[in-house]
Each structure stands twice: as C-alpha cells, then as structure tokens.
Amino acid sequence: MFLKLVLLCLCLWRLDGVFGDDEVKSVSVRGGNFVTLNSVLTEMKDDVIQWRFGNENTLIAENNVMADKITVYDGGRFRDRLKLDNQTGSLTITNIRPEHAGLYKQINNEIKSFSVTVIAAGSSRGAQILVSVKEGEPVTLKMPFLQILDNDLIQWRFKNTVIAEINVTADRITVYDDVLDGRFRGRLKLDNQTGSLTITNTTTEHTGRYELQIHHMKMDFYLTVYSEISVNEGDSVSLNSGLTEMKDDDEIQWRFRDENTLIAEINVTADRITVYDDVLDGRFRDRLKLDNQTGSLTITNTTTGYTGNYKLQINRKIKRFSLTVYARLPVPVIISNSSHCSSSSSSSSSSSSCSLVCSSVLSVSHVTLSWYKGISVLSSISASDLSISLSLPRFC
C-alpha cells in the first residue's frame, strides 16, 4: 500500500512538471517575417514533443520519435506556416501575422513557454502607420486582418487613453467618447466584424498617435487632420491658429513643406516675434505677418510657390494646413468655327449645328476647362504641363 502511494505521488509530481507554468520567454517579430521557437533539446532521442497555442492549449504540432512521426495541425490560421525541426523539435512559424500572436508552449518532460508579440507591418517603436484626412471628413483606422476571434479583447487608445474596445467573450462593444474633454463625442464607430475604428467629422484635435492592442499584438497609427485652404494668386490668406489669446508660456512655430523649414515663431516668455522671410530663396520676403494676440499667420500677395503643407506647433500641440495657390488665367475666348456648320432637312424636320472652341492662351502647370449649362457640367477637359493652348469643342 505504501509503495502504491509513493508511485502515485511521483506520478502527480511528474504531471505537475508537464502541465505547470514556468518562466515565459518574450519574443517579438514583425508581421510577414518568420520566427523560430527553440526547444529545450539539442538532439531528440525517444522523445515526444508537443507544441500548443493560446489559452485553449490547442495542439498545433507534434514530433513522436518512437513512432517516427512528425505532425503539424496547421488548419485555419496556421495553414502552411508551421515547420518542426526533426533534430531538436524546434518550431518555426513562417509569414507570421497578428492573429498568430499569443502564448506558445513546448511540452515534453518539461515546459518551455513563449509569449509571441507580432508587430504589424509598418509599425514599430518610434514609427507609425501614417494616415491623413481633410478636416470634417471621416477616417477609418483599419485592423490588419479581417476577422475577430472568439476570445479577442480589442482596445483602441489615443495618447494612451482608451477610447474604444471590443470584448468578444463578454459580447460587449464600448466607446468612451466623453474622455479627453469630449473631443470624440458622437464621432466614434467600431466595426463589430473587423474591429476597425472610424472617426467621423474629424477636427484638428483628433491629430495624434492611436494604438490598437489585441492581446499580444500592438499596432500604431499617426493620424494627421489638416485644414484645406485655396486662394487665387495675388490674394492674401490667413492660417488660423485656433487660439483667441496666447498664454504667458506659449511658444509658437510655423513651418513650411516637407523640409520643415521654420518661417515664423513667437516666444511669449521672451516677448519675441520673428519672421524668417529670407529662407527658401527669399520667397516669403515682406509677405509674412504674425498676429501677436493669437499667433495666426497671414501671407500677403501669394504666389504659386506658396502652395504646400504648413505646420503650426503650439508647445506640443500640432495643427496642419494644406494651402493651394491657383494661378490666374485669362478669360477663355469663345470662337465660332463656321467651317463646322452644316444643315440637313427632310420632309418633317430640319436642324443645324456648329462647333464652339474654348481656348486658353497661356501655358500653365495645370488647367481645367469646362462647359456649363446653368450649374450642370456639359463637358470638361484637363491637362498638366501645357506647352500649347487647350481647346474644348462643344456642338450646339
């Protein structure tokens, strides 16, 4: 009886050694790459090694040396992605995707556990997937795959604050649109099929870093909401800071285009206003004005050389503008082409037609000519880098 109890205790200890938890090794890999989870063995003898995945402990691969059999259960999410090393039992996952993130366990006489984090393509620490949208329009931050799994917990964060989440296990979808001064109120929509987040009626306050977290997977987005402004060449334009009054410690900088060239700044603490109108070949010379109350920037006597993106930075807050300056075209000339006139008659009716030609007289970088009847467009034509005049026929 005593011998049976000892054997029973030994068996229980061995089972605990097999199925108990040990130290978990963290592994990160970029989506689309491969990762190898190394087993505890340097060489297999009469071993049986199993690889299991997720909280459900699903068997995904097995190497039975005595039976001379290697099996990968790669249906569904792991299809054609699993490889077992027949010498060591190590597991390689190829073309890894975010849905492969999670807990992996290698089991033989002991357990070795791996927590695999998949960094979505285009995302890493210090880098984000860049998205931009015109102010007032909706934007969707898309999940990297198309199906939510049964045990998923999906969270969307803005500047480290949770703004929306899906808890599949609890069958619950929640948007926290009253956080952060209510800037998202009535604007957030979660897709219950894909987990993607849509922000409607965007404002510049929605510019910033968004983080998507699904269990072991994280994905970063940087959303830029820009104001779109257009003006005719020679006119003035004001880029509004959005402030009604500057604070004592405000520092305001205006930058131009992708070169991020500083063109104007206000340092309230130092009581200093500076315009750098000699930069960029002096194109802004004597044309920049800063409002010392609001920090708004006015550009006078604009030219097409001012077309581009402008960035306003107020301390750590950023606001962007897309300015287009249109060249002035001469009034199109309408010419009657009598050589196209013709007539026809029959016993019941007669008709005539002639061609009208609308012609520009300047070569410009881009131009569109259109015929209208009231507010309806009858026909139009566009061209870029013109070296000759542009004509648009219309028969009437």
d(CA 85, CA 214): 30
Nearest one of 310, 309, 206, 318 to 252, comparing CA atoms: 318
CA distances, 7 to each of 4, 15, 18, 20, 199 (Å): 5, 12, 17, 19, 63
What's the total number of domains in the chain? 4
Does one domain contain both 156 and 188? yes
Tokens 């569109």 locate to 368
Asked, for residue 357, whether it belongs to a domain, the answer is yes
Residue 102, class by beta-carbon neighbours within 10 Å (0-12 exposed, 13-18 middle, 19+ buried)? buried
Does one domain contain both 169 and 238? no
pLDDT at 363: 47
Does one domain contain both 217 and 239? no
Does one domain contain both 285 and 240? yes
Does one domain contain both 142 and 220? yes
Does one domain contain both 245 and 312? yes
Lowest mean pLDDT segment, chosen from 8-22, 81-95, 171-185: 8-22
Asked whether the beta carbons of 379 and 372 are under 8 A apart, the reply is no
Does one domain contain both 47 and 77? yes
d(CA 91, CA 359): 70
Asked, for residue 338, whether it belongs to a domain, the answer is yes
Which is higher by pLDDT, 363 or 384? 384
Asked, for residue 6, whether it belongs to a domain, the answer is no
Given 225, 249, 284, the domain boundary residue is 225
Does one domain contain both 272 and 287? yes
Nearest one of 204, 203, 31, 214 to 129, comparing CA atoms: 31
pTM given for the model: 0.52
Domain extent for 297: 233-326
d(CA 213, CA 222): 15
Asked, for residue 193, whether it belongs to a domain, the answer is yes
Averaged over 21-29, what is the pLDDT? 71
Lowest mean pLDDT segment, chosen from 222-231, 273-282, 371-380: 371-380
pLDDT, tens digit, for every residue of 96-138? Answer: 876 787 788 888 777 888 888 776 554 444 445 778 888 888 9
pLDDT at 87: 80
Read off the CATH number of the domain in which 253 is found: 2.60.40.10
Asked, for residue 154, whether it belongs to a domain, the answer is yes
Q: Strand 251-256 to strand 261-267: parallel, antiparallel, or no bridges (unpaired)? A: antiparallel
Does one domain contain both 359 and 321? no
pLDDT, tens digit, for every residue of 329-340? Answer: 666 666 665 544
